[in-house]
Structure 1
Amino acid sequence: MSSRSRRALSVAAVAATLLAATACTTTAASPTTASPAPSASRPSPAEIESAATQPNIVLVLTDDLSKNLVRYMPNLRKMQQDGTTFTNYTVTDSLCCPSRASLFKGQFPHNTGIYKNHGSDGGFRLFHSRGQESSTFATDLKAAGYRTGFFGKYLNEYLPATSFNGGKPYVPPGWDQWFAGGNAYDNFNYALNENGTVKKYGKKPADYLTDVLSAKATGFITSSAATGSPFMLEVSTYAPHAPYTPAPRDAKLFPGLTAPRTAAYDRLPEDAPAWLATHPRLNAAQKSRMDAEFRKRAQSVQSVDRMLGALRDTLTTAGVADDTLVVFASDNGYHMGEYTLPSGKQTAFDTDVNVPLIVTGHGVKAGQTVEAVVENTDLRPTFADLAGERAPAEVDGQSLRQLLAGETPALWRKAALIEHRDPATDPADPDYEHDSINIPPAYDAIRTADFTYVQYVDGTREYYDRRADPDQLRNLAGSLPADRLTQLRASVRTMTKCVGAEACLRAASAIS
């Protein structure tokens, strides 16, 4: 029997119990067992149907996983065959914490206030101090009756022993099960806050973090499915973030593999923006290092791919696969030699902002490729929609439910917004860049299915016609007519001020 059927029977059983209770005369409960009397109203057919059809949700979020790694992940490619791939999924910033904050909140950085990984305008501490955790997709789904679980990387600056409640390690609201780490990028010798208790792990093969998260997540699925209630879990891996540590059993895979030599590899765009125009070409040592790093990245995603397979197998074994939506995404992309830049992110090039979003399962059309422009702000309203709830008014994104089903929404955005601010140069930041010439200045950008437009704080601009120039090697900003530039600047200004789903959709739909 599927979880949907079990839920329907469960609701029906509750209804029968309540009706029976109203037919009997009851005596006062003893002091030790007294509790508020339940409502005797009978659940409506709509309520029974809602309980029966709320799908489970499994979100696998990776760290710095670029599109060029998908080819090394057979279980992920199987998800593409079984489900829907979004080719124009764009993150609000190619930096961990701002992107993750947008995903949790369904908001752009100008509304979350999270622009960096730490400091006065970013990081977990600011997210927490602003009260942002009181309203996320976790609290939405918890309120909708879901059992929720989080496993892995939360927000930058979060530490497993972080205490905001009288000495007990902190667990954010909305989560029934909480297993979160801090600086665990090595995937060994880390600590996890396990439901308020900090547990330390070592350097044995069995301690490899992605495998630990996989085991805990599959256990959560099994226990949750047995209840017959809907559940939602996020598994947030540290892989393949630097230092790109693979599981020991994968450390010798792909001998001789090198970073892809695309048309953009070690090449500056024509009329490159000021920050990039004088960037030196890559030297032999940099190329050799990036080849080794790319090989390790391909190795490190093998454990992520196995986890995907294990999660889907567990859903099948538990009898809930047909009632579950599985979502795979990355917080941002990664460049490795493109545009003469050594390993990193933070740019508005597609290498960094256009990342995988692959969805399969309940209500998802199989083998579908969707070119509609979607963003990480869309996941929260999608989850709320699937749970039968209205997304909170603060949400800037749109539900993907129709697109997942193969339908065409009456109105959809034409552009995604990207907001990036100069990161603080703190060596403790896991995304710290030793050489400032590799970091773009602050910028706002819009990315459509056809072009990318970027305007920097120093006044320089980029415009790439990606249909004619998919590698983004010809910056056409200098040749655009004045009225076109005026139009683009106005569009960016409107989008960077929008608040709420209606206003943001309207702003993003007016772009041509």
Structure 2
Amino acid sequence: MHTRPNILFIMSDDHAAHAISAYGSKINNTPNIDRLANEGIRLDSTFCTNALCTPSRATILTGQYSHINGVKTLDDEIDSSRPIQSQKLLQASGYKTAIIGKWHLGNNEESNPQGFDYWNVLPGQGDYFDPKFYEMGEEKQYPGYVTDIITEKATDWLDSTDRDDPFCLMVHHKAPHSPWIAAPRHMNLGVEGEFPEPETLMDDYETRSEAVKMTSIRVEDTSARNLKLDPPEGMSKDDKRRWAYQRYITDYTRTIQAIDDSVGTLLAYLDENGLAENTLVIYTSDQGMFLGDHGWHDKRFMYEQSLQMPFLARLPGEIDAGSVSDAMLLNIDFAPTFYDYAGIDCPDEVQGTSGRQILAGTTPDGWRTSMYYRYWMSMLGHRVVPNYGVRNERYKLIHYYGVLPEDTGLHDLKIPAEWELYDLQIDPQEIKNVYGNPTYSAVQSEMLQELDRLQSAASDASRH
């Protein structure tokens, strides 16, 4: 019998922390995900380093920033031959490894999953109903709802796995990514029109940069494909935003409910098969999501709801039940955390640091109190321009550097280089940009220095 813990890593897509009741959600209940918080730890300051699906997934596997692992945008694919990937090192050390669900890092010979004893992944985004999968490279189609299929395939793999060796199973859900289609059993969950509105739903973007004002991720800009209905005629601008928000959140929360069911099924499997005591279970998302915050859907910006990732973990005997931590964990830290639990030396190429001590309730001496972020992509339909920044325990500095890649369709837009500075203690909603305010001149200077320091430490190039 092995002594190293099994690892069950459950990741959803676009699941905002504030749509989990353990994080205080006002719009839904997630009792099975909450169980991980009740029986383990909830991290309140877990952040992504590039709030976009594909880049975040590459960072989670490699422990490296986007510009180092080569996956900066949705158009990039991972080079699966790269040796420094968590599943490869775990497999080499004796773990049985599998990934089931969303890969989203490419579907060709160069980018298909490697380092997994078994893989069964969706092509691209995949479909909610009767989805196609690539099982070890062979195309297959399964009837039913995608979240339930992923869960069933995960338990099937666990049934087939030799218990003499530890396992690392990555269960990667498509949901709740757009177009937010719920399982039939959840189609009537919640009451549209009665979801509480976020404080900043009617944000007018005063004091914010032109980059923020020009974006097309407002909820009323959401496509008819996602909202599934056209707004009633004659609506005012404000009423249309409120209507679109209710449509969005109704379907979004319904889609989450099958994820919560999946977590319940997987935890029950561990209980019933005597695996719960020696399995590290982690629930997270590839990044956050705006849920009407600032009037937006989607992610990409460095604002809190996009930047924050939910992170809940349980390992009986090491992680205290009901514990909470504010220590700053980044997605570059996930891979080295896996290595630590597996007893693997962390390669020098990895830029993150193990968070095992944090999960055990202790913040290591000298642990980071600030983090570096960079979003690289510009998409014509979203109109979110490249930006980077730094966040510490109180302040956030963001730079929209005004240079647009030629191949995005946005190069004709005239975007000035702009800065935003937020005092998160006084202004947690990030509605008052204080960059250039004399009261914050010393803070501004310190944050600029910290940005330069972290950018250099990450081996990234400055654009300011």
Short-chain TM bin: 0.7 to 0.9
Change over 3 Å in CA distance of 1:462–1:258 after alignment to 2: farther
Separation in structure 2 between the aligned mates of residue 310 and residue 336 of structure 1, nearest angstrom: 27
- Alignment-derived partner of residue 8 in structure 2: 58
Q: Does 1:219 align with 2:152?
A: no
Report percent identity of matched pairs: 26
Separation in structure 2 between the aligned mates of residue 112 and residue 163 of structure 1, nearest angstrom: 18
Q: Does 1:476 align with 2:434?
A: yes
455-464 vs 234-243, greater mean Cα deviation: 455-464
Letter in 1 for 2:164: G
Superposition RMSD in Å? 2.2
Q: Does 1:462 align with 2:435?
A: no
Q: Does 1:496 align with 2:437?
A: no
Equivalent residue of 1:452, what SS? strand
Q: Deviations over 1:303-324 (max 9, x none)?
A: 1111111111111111111100
Letter in 2 for 1:128: D
Is the helix fraction higher in 1 or 2? 1
Q: Does 1:91 align with 2:34?
A: no
Separation in structure 2 between the aligned mates of residue 498 and residue 273 of structure 1, nearest angstrom: 27
- Alignment-derived partner of residue 274 in structure 1: 210
Asked if 2 retains the 8 angstrom alpha-carbon contact of 1:415 and 1:447, the reply is yes
Change over 3 Å in CA distance of 1:247–1:220 after alignment to 2: same
Q: Quick one: which of 320, 327, 350 aligns to 2:304?
A: 350
- Structure 1: which 5+ residue stretches go unaligned? 1-5, 8-51, 165-169, 426-431, 504-512
Q: Deviations over 1:490-511 (max 9, x none)?
A: 32223223259xx9xxxxxxxx
Equivalent residue of 2:378, what SS? coil
Separation in structure 2 between the aligned mates of residue 59 and residue 268 of structure 1, nearest angstrom: 39
Pairs within 5 Å for 1:123-138: 123-124=76-77, 127-128=78-79, 131-132=81-82, 134-138=83-87
Q: Deviations over 1:308-344 (max 9, x none)?
A: 1111111111111110000011111111332233x22
Give the drift of 1:355: 2.1
Q: Deviations over 1:181-200 (max 9, x none)?
A: 11344312421111232102
Separation in structure 2 between the aligned mates of residue 444 and residue 115 of structure 1, nearest angstrom: 13
Change over 3 Å in CA distance of 1:275–1:140 after alignment to 2: same
State the TM-score, normalized to the length of structure 2.
0.85
What is the count of residue pairs matched by the alignment?
A: 418
State the TM-score, normalized to the length of structure 1.
0.77
Equivalent residue of 1:478, what SS? coil
Letter in 1 for 2:455: T
Q: Deviations over 1:11-35 (max 9, x none)?
A: xxxxxxxxxxxxxxxxxxxxxxxxx
Q: Quick one: which of 101, 112, 137 aligns to 2:58?
A: 101
Letter in 2 for 1:215: E
Q: Does 1:451 align with 2:395?
A: yes
Equivalent residue of 2:456, what SS? coil
Separation in structure 1 between the aligned mates of residue 160 and residue 366 of structure 2, nearest angstrom: 40
Separation in structure 2 between the aligned mates of residue 383 and residue 473 of structure 1, nearest angstrom: 37
Separation in structure 1 between the aligned mates of residue 40 and residue 9 of structure 2, nearest angstrom: 14
Give the drift of 1:258: 5.0
Change over 3 Å in CA distance of 1:417–1:257 after alignment to 2: farther
Letter in 1 for 2:373: I
Q: Does 1:296 align with 2:254?
A: no
| Higher-Rg member (1/2) | 1
- Alignment-derived partner of residue 411 in structure 2: none
Separation in structure 2 between the aligned mates of residue 488 and residue 187 of structure 1, nearest angstrom: 43
- Alignment-derived partner of residue 155 in structure 1: 104
- Kindly report structure 1 stretches of 4+ aligned residues shifted beyond 4 Å: 257-260, 277-282, 480-483
255-264 vs 327-336, greater mean Cα deviation: 255-264
Asked if 1 retains the 8 angstrom alpha-carbon contact of 2:102 and 2:126, the reply is no
Equivalent residue of 1:497, what SS? helix
Letter in 1 for 2:289: Y
Q: Does 1:248 align with 2:184?
A: yes
Separation in structure 1 between the aligned mates of residue 125 and residue 377 of structure 2, nearest angstrom: 24
Separation in structure 1 between the aligned mates of residue 435 and residue 356 of structure 2, nearest angstrom: 36
Separation in structure 2 between the aligned mates of residue 408 and residue 199 of structure 1, nearest angstrom: 45
- Structure 2: which 5+ residue stretches go unaligned? 22-28, 221-236, 403-416
Q: Deviations over 1:319-373 (max 9, x none)?
A: 11110000011111111332233x2211111111112111112421211110011
- Alignment-derived partner of residue 263 in structure 1: 199
Change over 3 Å in CA distance of 1:469–1:424 after alignment to 2: closer
Separation in structure 1 between the aligned mates of residue 295 and residue 265 of structure 2, nearest angstrom: 38
Asked if 2 retains the 8 angstrom alpha-carbon contact of 1:271 and 1:475, the reply is yes
